[in-house]
Structure 1
Amino acid sequence: MLTAKKKTGLVFFPAFDWAISPTHPEREERLLYTQDQVFEEGLFDIEGITELKPDLVRVQDVERVHFCVPDVWNVTTESHFISAGGAKTTGMAVLEKEIDRGFALVRPPGHHAMRVVHGARGFCNVNIEAIMIEFLRAAYNIGKVAIVDTDCHHGDGTQDIYWHDPNTLFISIHQDGRTLYPGSGFRNELGGPNAAGTTVNIPLPPNTSEEGFLYAIKNIVLPILDDFKPDIIINSAGQDNHYSDPITNMNFSAQGYAELTSLLKPDIAVLEGGYSIEGALPYVNLGIILAMAGLDYGKVKEPKYNADRIRQTQDVTRYIEKTAEKVLTMWQQREQIKEELQGIKKFDERPRRIFYDTDNIIETQKETVRICHDCGGTIRIDSSTDQGYHILGVHIPINACKDCRETGYQWYESADAKGFDMVFLQDRTEDKYLCRKFK
């Protein structure tokens, strides 16, 4: 009988009652074929690979991360609570040492959901990784967290949530935003002035194959992780870099994903995208599971796999090598960049327009962060949409200093009905959430 070198837990949640439409790429079959493959290959007969049942997250878990407008119930369904709960269950099992590693194979996905939520973006309503991470911080007092997002689309929601958090390293490897939704994730997106450098973007050109992805992991991601020394590593395990995916332009394979996982050694993986439902996902997930368990994945191959046909060009190789040099240089200069961004200002502002492509909403946002040398800085977000509410959200970080905490409460208490429909406060120092509604 085979025995896993690393005890690995799997959570499945296909979300039978949630779909954007019956024929949409993000639908329940994404996981049903993988479930069938796992059972057919007898993975649960391997000692040390076990199935975990997802719990639900609570409203409080969502409110640690998001300002949901007008409230959590209006932007989520039960499926979102179970999907995020599957990630939470996986994280708890790892922290309780019931398993060494865990993979939450759940939907709906989450990495495009930002701190403010007026609706769905990129098939995402709430950010399931962030909800899991902030629950683990509250329950187990973990400190430094690294998130490595390997979805083909830039994880702009996760980046937004942790933009000002110096204790969360967010690395995204994705298809160049000039060629794919959401059009972000460029090298100069480094994080806010109090956390400059802890956001790392690695945009790869279309038609990158496993050679390019694995080069980026070995030569950029692993050295940065070694420097950062996180307490836990999370992989946002999107699988739409696969050569057969219908909505992207990359040339990764199941073998490549398995080797990536073997190199990265994530404590927790959470499924994100991946829309080649029959030709890729069952094989990619099988390879990832075997790699997480420390088992041989050498025979995992898609039916039509041909390495020569998907090999990247020399131009792509040279481009990725130059990208690696530039990204590592910015990482090494992060303290200098942070000093320059902070300057002598008391506050820094970031105006934005955000498009909710799934729900066709346009949000106008002005974010203000207090410049602070002692913590991540209190954040004030003035947000309105073309068809909904005008809100103020105030976020006080979990390690906030006295001055930042006082500033946060001043912002919250001084806001009134003349300017806003509702005002929210996340005080992570006390794990407290407040809301005042004027309309």
Structure 2
Amino acid sequence: MKKTGLVFFPAFDWAISPTHPEREERLLYTRDQIFEEGLMDLPQITEYKPRLATKKDVARTHFCVPNVAGQTTEAHLIAAGGALVIADALMKGEIHNGFAMVRPPGHHAMRVVHGNRGFCNINNEAIMVDYLRHKYGIKKVAIIDTDVHHGDGTQDIFYHDPDVLFISFHQDGRTLYPGSGFTNEAGGPAAYGTTLNVPLPPGTTDEGIHYVLDNLILPVLNEFQPEIVINSAGQDNHYTDPLANMKVSAQGYAQLNQKLAPDIAVLEGGYAIETALPYVNTGIILAMAGLDYSHVIEPDYNKNQLVQSPEKTERIKETVEELLAVWKQRNKIELGVLAHKSDFYQRQKTIFYDTDYIHENQVEKVRLCCDCAGYMTIMSQAFHHNGRRSKVFCVTIPFNACQRCYNDAHNDYMNAVRSEAYDYVYLQNKAEDVYRIFTNVGTKKLEEF
């Protein structure tokens, strides 16, 4: 018998504002529906209680400015911890798959965190992936983001990691927040092709997302052969969602989940609290448990109103063909040739925090290393709406760091500390699971954990 694990965490004590669409009712209506349908009494369903993620769990993934406590509430740590509970249950063989139905969401939270953007402070899926890699030695992971908004935070965190496949399909960024997720965003030099973005035209229906799934996502997954598949399960592609313009149904979502067969799903967006979430979540749970979901239909569902135009279908097909070509070319970049020209790949980024109204400028540098994924440095400067500024320097050492990258990363960290040019200097040593924060504001101090 398939066992599906569930974690519920509505976060009663966390809200951006009392009437904000990202609020506790997102899960409460779903829970009422699930109990009404008797799902929790089925032998295929097992409920787990969430726990707090630790400071180290968060620091393994993020550089929180000034520190983890400064960017998280207890609700954030429980939401991330709920995903970790499902991960543990899966790895212990207690369940066949699991769904962490938690909030606040996380897929817009990037590696560096100065505040809340897109309703997200920390990235629940990314924290879970790094936890699985650290605790259980998992190497290859696939994250499929089905939220209507591009998962720009998850993309940012794994953009240079060849062992994490990130595929996001979403409403075209020219028409929706966060304005990114285009086909040319395909991964850094060491991980080219392991980021695939599928911008979809507004009005895409079940037909469109299933074409993407059948003709791009599933073939790529079959070739990539991940050890674990994670669904970043946003449900705001639904035809009633107030924040987007898509036309996907609860049946479309359930069928997608059945085909994708993720090991773990983690709730992200979805803001049609009464008209979509109870039905979509119920359909996903039934599909994950291998149960019949054909009766899960919205009261106002009308198939004739959810028809995709031939022009949209053709556009989706062209996008899929373009991305398949990117995937097939993923091994064409020769790191040795790039490293001969320059030892580092560098890019500049401008990031806007829409919730906290922060503007951030970043300079990201990644070592082009033929022996490991390469260490990374990030110089980040944030400008807050109240005039406050913060300048930080971050160094990350990957899990599989070679000795050269390990040594040079430590040297860059120490040079930044000695320079006194930054308010905070961070060392994220994933190879040894050790994290440092050097504070240069007021009384100088070093925190290590």
TM range (shorter): over 0.9
- CA displacement at 1:338 relative to structure 2: 5.6
Q: Does the CA-based 8 Å contact 2:351-2:361 persist in structure 1?
A: yes
Q: What's the counterpart of residue 292 of structure 1? A: 288
Q: Secondary structure at the match of 1:6?
A: coil
Please tell me whether the aligned partners of residues 87 and 128 of structure 2 are also in contact (alpha carbons under 8 angstroms). Answer: yes
- Asked if structure 2 preserves the Cα contact closer than 8 Å seen for 1:206 and 1:250, the reply is yes
1:391 aligns with 392
Shift in Å, 1:341: 6.2
CA distance in 1, matches of 2:68, 2:129: 18
Task: Give unpaired runs (5+ residues) of structure 1.
Answer: none
Distance between the aligned counterparts of 1:175 and 1:408, measured in 2? 38
Q: Residue in 1 aligned with 2:169? A: 173
Equivalent-residue separation in structure 1 for 2:315 and 2:28 (angstroms): 37
Structure 2 residue runs of 5 or longer lacking an equivalent are 442-449
Match of 1:39 among 35, 42, 51: 35
Paired AA for residue 329 in structure 1: A
Indicate the residue corresponding to 1:381 in structure 2.
378
What secondary structure does 2:298 align onto? coil
Q: Write the deviation string for residues 4-30 of structure 1: whole angstroms up to 9, x where unpaired.
A: x42101100000000000110000000
Equivalent residue, structure 2, for 1:313: 309
SS of the aligned residue for 1:336 comes to coil
Provide the secondary structure at the position in 2 that maps to 1:294: coil
Structure 2 CA distance, aligned partners of 1:370 and 1:257?
40
Do the aligned partners of 1:384 and 1:390 also contact (CA within 8 Å) in 2? yes
* Contact kept in structure 2, 1:195 and 1:338, CA below 8 Å: no
Question: How many angstroms does 1:74 deviate by?
Answer: 1.0
The AA in structure 2 aligned to 1:360 is Y
Distance 2:240 2:334 in 1: 41
| Structure 2 counterpart SS, 1:355 | strand
Q: Cα distance, 1:343 vs. partner?
A: 6.4
The one-character-per-residue Cα deviations of 1:326-373 (angstroms, maximum 9, x if unpaired) are 100110011114658666321011101100001000001100011012
CA shift digits 1:177-222 (9 cap, x unpaired) = 1111001110010111111111111111110000000010010000
Indicate yes or no: 2:75 matched with 1:79.
yes
Over the aligned positions, Cα root-mean-square deviation in angstroms equals 1.1
Q: Report the CA distance between 1:142 and its aligned residue.
A: 0.8
Kept after mapping to 2: 8 A contact 1:369/1:379: yes
Corresponding residue of 1:203 = 199
* TM-score normalised by length of structure 2: 0.95
CA–CA separation in structure 2 for the residues paired with 1:283 and 1:27: 18
How has the CA–CA distance of structure 1 residues 45 and 418 changed in structure 2, closer, same or farther, with 3 Å as cutoff? closer
Partner of 1:402: 403
> Using the alignment, how far apart are the partners of 2:255 and 2:197 within structure 1?
21
Q: Of 220, 233, 243, which aligns to 1:237?
A: 233
Once the 2 structures are TM-superposed, how far is the Cα of residue 419 of structure 1 from its aligned partner? 1.5
Aligned to 1:163: 159
1:426 aligns with 2:428: yes
How many residue pairs get aligned? The number is 435
Structure-1 residue corresponding to 2:348: 351
Residue 222 of structure 1 pairs with residue 218 of structure 2: yes
Alpha-carbon shift at residue 304 of structure 1 (Å):
0.3
Q: Which residue of 2 aligns with 1:266?
A: 262
Q: Which residue of 2 aligns with 1:247?
A: 243
**Aligned counterparts, 1:116-131, within 5 A:** 116-131=112-127
Aligned mates of 1:312, 1:122 — CA distance in 2: 28
In structure 1, what is the equivalent of residue 445 of structure 2? none
Q: Under a length normalisation based on structure 1, what TM-score does the superposition of the two structures give?
A: 0.98
Secondary structure at the counterpart of residue 261 of structure 1: helix
Q: What pairs up with 1:319-338 in 2 under 5 angstroms?
A: 319-337=315-333
Shift of 1:374: 2.0
Counterpart of 1:60 in structure 2 is 56
